[in-house]
A and B are shown apart, each in its own frame.
Chain A
Amino acid sequence: MFVLVEMVDTVRIPPSDFERQLNDAIAEELNKKLANKVVYNVGLCICLYDITKLEDSYIFPGDGASHTKVHFRFVVFHPFLEEVLVGKIKYCSQEGVHVTMGFFDDILIPPESLQQPTKFDEAEQVWVWEYETDEGAHDLYMDQGEEIRFRVADEVFVDTSPTGPAVATPDAPAQPGQSTAPPAEESGDKKEAPYTLIGTICEPGLGLLSWWSS
């Protein structure tokens, strides 16, 4: 689920923080910059693991702050493909089942990856698995708040950095249910999640935990 990523960056320490230990000031700046943010093609950054190397600090003319090149390792949420994860159902829609893990919200299980046969109940806005046994069909509802075990089928990284005034993006409807932990995205009209996981529950053992507990 979590990986360690080695990164390099230049950290700016303002003069007001010069009294502090350099390591502490740098750790705070790195956490402030990266914690709870998605880095393109890397994942959701959680927190700093350690600092491996500090290069010399420079002060440039015109700016009183010191700039230090830092080599460090960061804890990143980046599940590997085919990994099994457990989350909670946030809500169901025509697009599929939206799952959340609390700290990470953008997980979608598309209709074709649900246990078959499944139908969407418009009235209650839930997906229902019509489980066939010898006694007849049982309707298993995928209710909100239920714990669900799924496998990571795919991941999608979208570069949400600002594109500039020349590109006129049409007013697209904002995606419902924004993450409680907002990643670094522009406050534009089109709010696309920078990192989305596509899941599947089309296997024995996957789906609601209550379906498989004896």
Chain B
Amino acid sequence: MFKTSTFIQKSFKHEIISTISCLCLHRKKANAAMLSNYEVFKLLTDLKEQRRDAGKSKHSVRQQNLNTIMYETLKYLSKTPCSRQSPEIIKEFLTTMKHHKLTKAEKLQLLNHRPQTAVEIQLMVEESEERLLEEQIEELIQNVADLLPGDPEQENKAAADARMDEGGEQS
């Protein structure tokens, strides 16, 4: 609910309209917060549901830009690990990551990418050779694999390949 509009008194000059109506968009704080891919994915999915429920057809004509960016961003994010995450998974992940002493940016990258090899970990963690021992990197990979859900298709394929190898050895 908004307050009743206030009418500007006639003593104001006519120029005021143009000055105030023109673009006064400005940024207050550059990086108020970093968002994980999951948060953006959830926001866009909820927004999509909301707009679909509202059902107004005039949305699509007036909001073409919003539709485009939502569609493309959701398409991109749905193919990343964030589409299989939830607030509980992220909370558990961050709690487990505490003792590894990683920076916020590094934890965010691990969360968004779900690295599976040591090479990927070294990309995301700065100076990993000096900060982490080999066992710690292994532990990190294990934590990531256990806590963050992976791509079921990829995992099924890997399991099928493993079974094929075993079958070959047996025969």
Contact = CB atoms under 8 A, between A and B. Distances in A.
Interface stretch (A115-123, A124-132, A167-175, A201-209): A201-209
Given A84-B124, A212-B120, 19 more contacts: A3-B31, A3-B34, A4-B34, A5-B31, A5-B32, A28-B62, A35-B65, A35-B66, A47-B70, A54-B2, A56-B6, A58-B7, A60-B17, A60-B20, A61-B10, A63-B17, A75-B43, A83-B105, A205-B119
Interface of A: 1-10, 12, 22, 28, 31-33, 35-37, 39, 42, 46-47, 49, 54, 56-63, 66-68, 71, 73, 75, 78, 80, 82-84, 86, 101-103, 149, 151, 180-181, 203-206, 212, 214
A83 B36 CA distance: 13
Contact of B123 (A39, A59, A75, A205): A205
B33 A28 contact: no
A107 B24 CA distance: 30
A39 B25 CA distance: 10
A47 B44 contact: yes
A2 B39 CA distance: 9
A138 B21 CA distance: 61
Contacts of B101: none
Contacts, number: 166
Interface string B17-53: 1001101111111111111110110011001000000
Contact of B28 (A8, A62, A83, A86): A8
Nearest to B6: A58
A49 B43 contact: yes
B24 A9 contact: yes
A90 B5 CA distance: 51
Contacts of A4: 31-35
A18 to B, nearest CB: 10
Interface of B: 1-3, 5-8, 10, 14, 16-17, 20-21, 23-37, 39-40, 43-44, 47, 62-63, 65-66, 68-70, 72-73, 75-76, 80, 105, 109, 112-113, 117, 119-120, 122-124, 126
Contact of A46 (B25, B40, B113): B40
Contacts of A28: 62-63
B49 to A, nearest CB: 14
Contacts of B32: 3-6, 73
Contact of A32 (B17, B26, B43, B66): B66
A101 B76 contact: yes
B65 A204 contact: no
Contacts of B47: 47
Contact of A6 (B27, B73, B112): B27
Nearest to B34: A3
Contacts of A9: 23-26
